[in-house]
């Protein structure tokens, strides 16, 4: 039997990319395995993490719902990966915050994710936000949050439920009074997708309500990593 000796260095080291390194050991000769930074740090440090989203915006329109799945839809959060981009958009996280803006209101949930693989170029969209440089530049994608994907064909199709929620839990008209409060859900929710959705070149991803909200406004965010195909 061949005996293999594994050696390492006690304490941290500072190295450049591509330099051979030894394993790190503690002062009791134990192997050190740790999350040195936050879980998105490495990809963000290498300028591969981007996001889209919107500030507080009224979502009181059927275009924010599954009632509109064509090129006039306005996603509450969404992204388009252009045909031929040579990158996949690996979805990491989504955020939704909803507030009720009037005493008489109708909820929009539950919320769902819808997708399309468009065969025609989408001609609209905003530049995503680079999470390292804090500038709206460098991404291959287009942020479709609150932007209609002009040119998209075929239509979106509802694929699965989102864990995001907010606003009234009732999708019928409800009146709040001093003695009768409307029942709502958490104001801000986070869905940790962690790569379980990949938007390939030509793909559109959209977060939509399932009924038309009344007296609801929302903030949203969508976070992804751009990885070469």
Q: Specify the range with the lowest mean pLDDT, choosing from 60-69, 84-93, 102-111, 121-130.
A: 102-111
> What's the whole-number mean pLDDT along residues 12-38?
80
- Checking if the pLDDT of 175 tops 90, the result is no
Domain spans, the chain: 49-228
Using CA atoms in the order 55, 134, 37, 49, what is the torsion angle rounded to 10 degrees?
80
Q: What integer best gives the mean pLDDT of the chain? A: 92
Question: What pLDDT does residue 23 have?
Answer: 84
- Checking if the pLDDT of 34 tops 80, the result is no
Query: For the segment 46-55, what is each residue's pLDDT rounded down to a tens digit?
Result: 999 999 999 9
Q: How far is CA 203 from CA 5, 33, 87, 157, in A?
A: 49, 37, 11, 12
């Amino acid at each position: 039997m061949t005996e293999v000796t594994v050696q390492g260095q006690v304490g941290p080291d500072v190295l450049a990319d591509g330099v051979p390194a030894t394993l790190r050991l503690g002062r009791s000769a134990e192997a050190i395995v740790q999350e040195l930074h936050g879980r998105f740090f490495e990809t963000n440090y290498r300028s591969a993490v981007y996001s889209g989203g919107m500030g507080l915006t009224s979502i009181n329109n059927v275009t924010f719902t599954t009632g509109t799945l064509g090129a006039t839809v306005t996603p509450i959060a969404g992204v388009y990966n252009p045909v031929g981009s040579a990158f996949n958009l690996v979805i990491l996280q989504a955020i939704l915050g909803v507030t009720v803006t009037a005493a008489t209101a109708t909820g929009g949930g539950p919320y769902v994710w819808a997708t399309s693989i468009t065969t025609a170029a989408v001609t609209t969209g905003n530049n995503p936000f680079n999470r390292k440089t804090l500038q709206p530049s460098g991404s291959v994608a287009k942020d479709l949050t609150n932007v209609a994907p002009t040119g998209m064909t075929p239509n979106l199709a509802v694929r699965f439920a989102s864990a995001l929620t907010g606003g009234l839990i009732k999708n019928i008209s409800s009146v709040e009074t001093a003695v009768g409060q409307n029942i709502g859900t958490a104001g801000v929710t986070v869905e940790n997708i962690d790569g379980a959705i990949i938007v390939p070149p030509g793909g559109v991803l959209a977060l939509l309500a399932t009924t038309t909200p009344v007296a609801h406004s929302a903030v949203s965010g969508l976070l992804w990593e751009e990885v070469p195909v």
